[in-house]
Amino acid sequence: MEWKLSFLPKAQKQLQSLDVAVQRRILNFLHERLLASPDPRTLGKALVGETQGLWRYLIGDYRLICKIEDQAVTILVLEVGHRREIYR
């Protein structure tokens, strides 16, 4: 099963505002590791509390907050940001 990747407009804008090297690192992680994985949950961590049902992925000092949609076989990126700002 091959996963598809989708970004919310907000997440796309957040990604584009980052340094080019950081953008490349995040996109490499998404395409080479996350989309290639049979189960993207093995690479991330489930969030709890108000954000229950969402997943966190660590890429250096940056975090991706995603929603995994099993029925559509899609990983929806909701937010991209530095670890000190992403959970606010």
Domain boundaries, the chain: 4-82
What CATH number belongs to 4-82? Answer: 3.30.2310.20
Average pLDDT over residues 57-86: 95
Q: Could you give the CA distance from residue 77 to residue 86 in angstroms, rounded to a whole number?
A: 13
**Which pLDDT does position 15 carry in this prediction?**
97
Confidence of residue 88 (pLDDT cuts 50, 70, 90): confident
1-16 confidence digits (pLDDT tens): 689 999 999 999 999 9
- Write down the pLDDT at residue 2: 86
- pLDDT per position as a tens digit, 16-38: 999 999 999 999 999 999 999 99
Distance separating alpha carbons of residues 5 and 76, to the nearest angstrom = 6
Taking the C-alpha atoms of residue 20 and residue 48, their distance in angstroms, rounded to an integer, is: 31
